[in-house]
Amino acid sequence: MLNSAPPDTNGRVGKNHYVQWVNTQLAVWDKSGTLLYGPIKGNTLFQSLGGTCATHNDGDPISQYDLLADRWILTQFAVGATDGSFSHQCVAVSMSG
């Protein structure tokens, strides 16, 4: 974890998992408390896309679970780079819960 204040702790319980994202780090547990994935840098979710969301890991995450669609929605912002590009809102939606 980076030394960030405030910690921007954000977590949600889904049908089978608990996802927690604290500033720049993301992890997934099953409901019995077993760590399944992570902790990883949040921008890992966007690596295959390239661009600003893949290269910036600026935090202020939001994790949500859509019970009706059985999908996770995870977002964080990416502050504009020193090259003058604009800030972005990076959004990932799972294919299943």
DSSP string, 44-78: GGGGGG-SHHHH------EEEEETTTTEEEEEEEE
Per-residue model confidence (pLDDT) at position 1: 47
Q: What's the confidence (pLDDT) of residue 83?
A: 65
pTM: 0.84
Per-residue confidence (pLDDT) for residue 82, from 0 to 100:
65
Give the tens place of pLDDT for each residue, 30-74. 999 999 999 999 999 999 998 889 988 888 899 999 999 999 999
> Domain extents for the chain?
9-93
pLDDT at 71: 96
Report the C-alpha gap between 52 and 87 in whole angstroms.
8
CB proximity list for 84: less than 8 A, separation 6 or greater: none
pLDDT confidence of residue 64: 96
- pLDDT for the residue 15: 95
Kindly state the DSSP code that residue 22 receives in the 8-state scheme. Answer: E
Cβ burial 16-33 (10 Å sphere, 16+ → b, else e): ebbbbbbbbbbbbbeeee
What's phi and psi for 43, nearest 5 deg? -70, -5
- Rounded Cα distance, 24 and 70, in Å: 24
